[in-house]
Structure 1
Amino acid sequence: MEVCPVEVAVSVLGGTWKLTLVKHLMEGTRRFGELSRLVPSANRKTLTRQLRELEEDGIVSREIYAEVPPRVEYSLTELGQSLAPLIDQANRWGTSYSQHVHTEAASS
């Protein structure tokens, strides 16, 4: 039995903040604190778990620098960069949907 490709994508990207994290990493390498500030609704434990899962799936790369205090930077791998068209389309769709819902609510 073949696995549906959409199910594979949802399995990799369907976590609680994963698409948002990928979107922010599309803009370049980020430290954990930066990502935490960019996604203020997410708690640190959840962000850590989501970043680790993205790393395990080959979407995100984590680089640890031997400094005091330690510096950890996250960036997208080549596979992660290949998500750019999907992220751009999801961003456009979300904007359009939000405008549609707002227009519908205003006309009710």
Structure 2
Amino acid sequence: MATQAQSEKRVFHNDDDCPVRNVVSQIGDKWSLLILFALVDGTDRFNSLKSRVEGISQRMLTQTLRDLEREGYVNRTVYPEVPVRVEYCLTKMGRDIVKPLYQLVCWADEHQNEIKRARKAYDERS
């Protein structure tokens, strides 16, 4: 985690024990947040998730679901049927992390036009 230096400014260490880095590195990628929010609607299957998260490739969805499962945010259940049925759902920790992230999503939605204007103004200056 961040430590306070003599100047009272936080220092963020570049190691595996930094919880901020650990969480943000996983959910801050291009697809994880979208998949988490897709699963807020309830248990879903792979192809349904793929159709709901537009633009994601099969390979990327597979990898991101594995990463989210490894982190403890998503549960994968395999049913021994023919053909095999696999379902994904949020774990308790997954449901917990979505709550504060929902505030971020709302903030982004509310400030989207302001962010676009800032980017445009910056690009015009550069």
Do the structures match in fold with TM over 0.5?
Answer: yes
Structure 2 counterpart of 1:34: 48
Greater relative contact order: 1 or 2 (C-alpha under 8 angstroms, separation 6 or more)? 1
Tell me which amino acid in the other structure corresponds to 1:78: K
| Structure 2: gaps (5+ residues) | 1-12, 122-126
Pair 1:67-2:81 in alignment: yes
What secondary structure does 1:82 align onto?
A: helix
- In structure 1, what residue type is equivalent to 2:99? P
Deviation at 1:101, TM superposition (A): 3.8
Report if aligned partners of 1:29, 1:73 keep a CA contact under 8 Å in 2: yes
TM-score by length of 1: 0.84
Count of residues in Structure 1 that have an aligned counterpart in Structure 2: 105
**What is the rounded CA distance, in whole Å, between the counterparts of 2:98 and 2:112 in structure 1?**
21
Report which of the two structures shows the higher radius of gyration computed on alpha carbons. 2
Residue of structure 1 aligned with 2:113, choices 99, 102, 106: 99
Q: Are 1:87 and 2:114 an aligned pair?
A: no
Whether 1:6 and 2:20 are equivalent positions in the alignment is yes
Amino acid at match of 1:49: Q
CA RMSD across the alignment: 2.1
Please state whether the residue corresponding to 1:67 is helix, strand or coil.
Answer: coil
Equivalent-residue separation in structure 2 for 1:54 and 1:78 (angstroms): 13
